[in-house]
Amino acid sequence: MTFSYYPGCTLRTKAVQLDSFARKSAEALGVHMQELDEWQCCGGVYPLAKDEIATKLSSVRALAAARDRGQELLTLCAACHNVLKRVNHDMQTDETICDRANRYLQLPEPYRGETTVLHYLEMLRDRVGFDRLKEQVKNPLTGMKVAAYYGCLLLRPSNVMAFDDPENPTILEDFIRAIGATPVVFPYRNECCGGYVTLQKKEFADSRAALLCRSAAEAGAEAVITACPLCLYNLQRGADENLPIYYFTQLLARALGVEEEAA
Amino acid sequence: MNERETLKQTVLAIAGANPRKCMKCGKCTGACPAFDEMEVPPHRFVSMVEEGRVEELLGTRSLWLCLTCFACVERCPRGVVPARFIEAVRLVQVRCQGQNHLKAEQIPDALDEELPQQAIVSAFRKYSK
Ligand code: SF4
Ligand code: SF4
């Protein structure tokens, strides 16, 4: 199984671990992640304004590059995933945005949303299959109580992201079961961590994160997993030393026995 | 068209959404993680845009506190997309000369060892032009 892969800036800098654990785990699962030859920053947040075109172009370039290779486009960072998927949806459904973007880009072949954007978790669920993942697990994390923090970006808006039920998602809990651990469901798992507001209003973001972490700990979690570098940052600020926050890929690598190699 | 109406139409065009669909149920505000820090919470924000009171919304904390988390959007029973109006008013403000809410000079002080690049890029997208 081969996919085009869009890592994004943060996975090259502060979040290298999210990426390296994912690549090693994919290898172990027989999945080939073929990074795009060229890619640019997605901008971190989807440009909501109907009249913004330039800020969507880096996503369109990445989407078109995957289309030209005839591959599905794999993402890992929850923010990049949200941006790419939503821009792709615009290219499929908003004629004005699609036409204007194509007029800017002048691609040899216009892009109209042909590419399928898949998050790494969706790849595990829908392409590999959690049953097959379970068979490949070498070190099941038996007894470990893990809370899945979804946050906003993977789930919303659900009509576009089509990732899981936005109010009662299960994909991460199914993932946790597949690697042998025990999922812990907590009430704040799909509430915002404070996001980019941490840059300007630290106290506000920190209080959000502390609330989330308390909620996870009270539900009995020994660890929390996330797919987003900014969530990881905010949650780590809100958690005490008894509640480690991991990228989901680290626990995946641990279960597949490749954590040491990737670290 | 008077200035007030022009401003409203600009916001509606950027937002690409219709505030008249709102039935003022307040569910968006109930879902909003930032509502109690905002002087204009999402349900009132939508109403004020509909009433053409955009001028009063400029410079409010709501513009900078909205996390674009889309909880309001997901839970609105009428498909109003409140976050789009906040985005639109924010843009009306930061697209004006000298109105950036985040300036490059502020970044060094805001940095710490662990802060991911994603936070900086996202904040610039939201707060500056
Ligand atoms: S949830 Fe929707 S309908 Fe209800 S007040 Fe908010 S915008 Fe209006
Ligand atoms: S998108 Fe903004 S207004 Fe809507 S719930 Fe989130 S923080 Fe509140």
The CATH number of the structural domain formed by A130-262 is 3.40.50.11810
Answer whether residue A72 shows pLDDT above 80. Answer: yes
| B9-60: pLDDT as tens digits | 999 999 999 999 999 999 999 999 999 999 999 999 999 999 999 999 999 9
State if residue B31 touches ligand 2 by the CB under 6 angstroms criterion.
Answer: yes
pLDDT above 90 for A173: yes
Cα separation, B85 vs B81, in Å, equals 8
Taking an 8 Å cut-off on Cβ atoms, the answer to whether A13 and B115 are in contact is no
Q: What is the mean pLDDT of residues A102-107?
A: 97
**Reported CATH class of domain A2-120:** mainly alpha
Quote the Cα angle for B42-B44-B49, to 5°.
95
How many residues in total does chain A contain?
Answer: 263
Percent of chain A at pLDDT > 70 equals 100
A50 and B70 within 8 Å at the Cβ level: the answer is no
CATH of the domain at B16: 1.10.1060.10
Chain B residues near residue A232 by CB distance under 8 angstroms: 116
pLDDT band, residue B103 (cuts 50/70/90): confident
Other C-beta atoms lying within 10 Å of the C-beta of residue A55: 16
Q: Residue A126 — very low, low, confident or very high, per pLDDT cuts 50/70/90?
A: very high
Nearest residue in chain B measured CA to CA from A208: B33
pLDDT of residue A198: 94
**Which helix or strand (DSSP H or E) is residue A1 part of?**
none
For residues B53 and B78, membership in a common domain is answered with yes
What CA–CA distance (Å, rounded) separates A147 from A27? 26
Is the CB–ligand 1 distance for residue B26 below 6 Å? Answer: yes
Q: Is residue B58 located within the same domain as residue B72?
A: yes
Do B94 and B107 lie in a common domain?
A: no
Quote the number of domains for chain B: 2
Predicted local confidence at residue A260, as pLDDT: 92
Of the listed ranges A30-44, A226-240, B22-36, B105-119, the one predicted with least confidence = B105-119
Q: Provide the 8-state DSSP code for A124.
A: I
Q: How far is the CA of A96 from the centre of ligand 2 (A)?
A: 26
What's the pLDDT band for A262 if we cut at 50, 70, 90?
confident
Q: CB–CB of B74 and A13 under 8 A?
A: no
CA-closest residue to ligand 1 atom 4 = B25
Q: Which long-range contacts (CB under 8 A, 24 or more apart) does A203-209 make?
A: A204/B34, A204/B37, A204/B65, A205/A234, A205/A237, A206/A234, A206/A237, A206/A238, A208/A234, A208/A238, A208/B33, A209/A234, A209/A235, A209/A237, A209/A238, A209/A239
Pair B13, B55 in one domain:
yes
Same-domain check for residues B58 and B17: yes
Confidence at residue A36, expressed as pLDDT on a 0 to 100 scale: 98
**Which DSSP string do the residues of A141-199 spell out, in sequence order?**
-TT-EEEE--TTTTTSSHHHH-SS-SSS--HHHHHHHHTT-EEE--TTTTS---GGGGG
Residues of A in contact with B71 (CB under 8 A): 152, 156, 191-192
pTM above 0.90, yes or no: yes
Residue A116 DSSP symbol? P
Based on the domain organization, do B15 and B56 belong to the same domain?
Answer: yes
Pair B92, B110 in one domain: no
Tell me if B84 sits within 8 A of B7, measured CB to CB.
no
Min Cα distance B2 → chain A (Å) is 22
A residues 116..155 contacting B (CB < 8 A)? 152, 155
Residue B1 pLDDT > 80, yes or no?
no
Same domain, B51 and B110: no
Domain with CATH 3.40.50.11810 in chain A: 130-262
- pLDDT higher than threshold 80 for residue B86: yes
**Closest CA–CA distance from residue B70 to any residue of chain A (Å):** 6
B49: enclosing H helix or E strand: helix B42-50
Compute the distance between CA of residue B67 and CA of residue B63 in angstroms, rounded to an integer: 9
Q: How many CB atoms lie within 10 A of CB A59?
A: 28
SS3 content of chain A, % helix, strand, coil (to 5): 50, 10, 40
Q: Which residue of A has its CA nearest to B64?
A: A197
Which regions of chain A carry the CATH code 1.20.1050.140?
2-120
CB nearest to B64's CB, from A49, A50, A200 = A200
Same domain, B65 and B108: no
Give pLDDT, residue B98. 87
Q: Which two tokens stand for residue B83?
A: 């976050």
Banded model confidence at residue B97, pLDDT cuts 50, 70, 90: confident
Residue with tokens 């106290």: A203
Nearest bound ligand to the CA of residue A151: 2
Confidence of residue B104 (pLDDT cuts 50, 70, 90): confident
Sequence letter at residue A157 = P
Low-confidence winner among A89-98, A123-132, A237-246, B95-104 (lowest mean pLDDT): B95-104
Instruction: Tell whether the model's pLDDT for residue B106 goes beyond 90.
Output: no
Question: Which residues touch A2 (CB under 8 Å, ≥6 apart)?
Answer: A31, A32, A34, A71
Q: Is the pLDDT assigned to residue B108 strictly greater than 90?
A: no
Tokens representing A203 are 């106290």
- State whether residue B119 sits within 8 Å of chain A by CB: yes
Q: Residue A108 corresponds to which amino acid? A: P
Task: Read off the pLDDT of each residue in A160-189 and give the average, rounded to a whole number.
Answer: 98
Reported ipTM: the value is: 0.95
Confidence grade of residue B113 (pLDDT, cut at 50, 70, 90): confident
Domain hosting residue B110, numbered range = 103-129
User: A18 near A76, Cβ under 8 Å?
Assistant: yes
Strand partners, A33: A3
- Averaged pLDDT score across all residues of chain A: 97
Percent of chain B with pLDDT over 70: 100
